Amino acid sequence: MAKITEAEIRSVLSTITSPEGGNIIERGMVQGLVVRDGHVGFSIEVDPAQGEKLEPMRKAAESAVTNLPGVLSVTAVLTAHKGPGATAPAQRAAATPTQRPGSGKALVPGVKHIVAIASGKGGVGKSTTATNLALAFTTLGLKVGLLDADIYGPSQPRLMGLSGRPESRDGKTLEPKQSFGVKVMSMGFLIEEDTPMIWRGPMVMSAITQLLREVNWGELDILVCDLPPGTGDAQLTMAQSVPLSGAVIVSTPQDIALLDAKKGLNMFRKVDVPVLGLIENMSYFSCPNCGHRTDIFAHGGAQREAARFGVDFLGEIPLDIKIRETSDDGRPIVASEPTSPHSLAYGEIARKIWAKLDATPQRAAPRIVLQ
């Protein structure tokens, strides 16, 4: 198939008229153009006040690029242009037509609940927890997807033992890969491993929207989203642009991590996403030889903080070499040793999360107020 170039995309986009006259390329409205193996994403910077009215222009731009030979999928989003005071992520996100305030539009049809697994900082075991929880949900008889939204350091392909490019049957949507009965999509399938990627604000949004909307998820009870660590722009974008049923925060017992966990908690509260609870990972040390349990300094911190912040404590997972080894080998413990105490602990946490979700109706995208 012919390889599509940026120049060809810019050329076809120059046929799209700007509301202020001229075309959207010459007016510099097209930003953050990304082309990866036939998948295209870009943003069109517009006046946020005009956001909704410009939806036909966005659609026209998207279809023009879709019709080019060699293009597999296109995600075009409207973002607020860089006028004074118009660049806050909340405002950029608000201008995106897919999340029109109060529209009640489900972003991913067929997916009942989307749950974010988040952490205040990296290295606390967020991805490992997301993987094992996704697998634990399958043991409850649920149809499960796993979206690796950690576009800065996608690790789900390795954790789930997957590699290679995703296929597209219709030339428009990508087919998720399957592992241990879970449908998986990750930026790691689309970019070379170890390729440093510099993501600018609008690109983050394009990438995440594409991983959500341009993937044939089919019918799912739950889509587990492994968020990038931290509480920066990418997390906020995700929290705002995806109709999350709730978020789960993973933390280690160390107080410093808990300080970060609090930031995560506050971020979700700010955007009106329910925090389903806190998980303490690497909670205590489980001796691989004798199974003896040794509590780590500050063990129990997450439970205390959860109570203080009025969120549920969902459970604790020990620091155990088996959890790391099985993850590194691409056969996560819940799949490879389903009856081990750790797998049962993940199962118990999954059960608690599902009980909460089942009691709440499917959510629409959170309401975002333009100021």
Q: List interacting residues with ligand ADP (CB under 6 A).
A: 119, 122-128, 155, 229, 281-282, 317, 319-320, 323-324, 327
Question: In the complex, what is the shortest distance from the CB of residue 138 to ligand ADP, in angstroms, rounded to a whole number?
Answer: 19
> Of the two residues 128 and 237, which places its CB atom closer to ligand ADP in the complex?
128
Tell the smallest beta-carbon distance from residue 351 to ligand ADP (Å): 19
The CB-of-119 to ligand ADP minimum distance in angstroms stands at: 5
Closer to ligand ADP by CB, 133 or 282: give it: 282
Which residues are paired to 106 by β-bridges? none
In the bound state with ligand ADP, the residue whose beta carbon lies nearer, of 33 and 257, is 257
Smallest distance, ligand ADP to C-beta of residue 316, A: 9
d(CA 26, CA 47): 16
Tokens coding 337:
């040793």
Q: Which residue is nearest to ligand ADP (CB)?
A: 125
Q: Please, which residues bridge with residue 275 across strands? A: 247
Q: How far is the CB of 328 from ligand ADP (least distance, A)?
A: 6
Between 244 and 323, CB nearer to ligand ADP: 323
**Cα separations (Å) of 235 from 117, 159, 240?**
11, 21, 8
Nearest-CA neighbor of 254 among 288, 314, 305? 305
Q: Which is nearer to ligand ADP, 106 or 191 (CB)?
A: 191
For the bound state, the minimum distance from the C-beta of residue 120 to ligand ADP, rounded and expressed in Å, comes to 10
- 280 has which bridge partners? 251, 316
CA distance 109 to 106: 6
Nearer to ligand ADP, 237 or 286 (CB): 286
CB of 91 or CB of 281, closer to ligand ADP: 281
Neighbours of 145 (CB within 10 A): 26
Interatomic CA distance for residues 116 and 147, integer angstroms: 9
Give the nearest distance from C-beta 144 to ligand ADP in angstroms: 18
Query: Is 71 within 8 Å of 4 (Cβ atoms)?
Result: yes
Q: Which residues contact 68 (CB under 8 A, 6 or more apart)?
A: 4, 8, 9, 12
- CA distances (Å), origin 139, targets 20, 90, 123: 55, 37, 27
Q: Are 319 and 151 in contact (CB under 8 A)?
A: no
| Cβ at position 317, least distance to ligand ADP in Å | 5
Cα angle 149, 150, 154 (rounded to 5 degrees) comes to: 110
Structure tokens that stand for 54 in this block: 């410009």
Reduced to 3 states, what is the DSSP secondary structure of residue 213? helix
- Nearer to ligand ADP by Cβ, of 91 and 132: the residue is 132
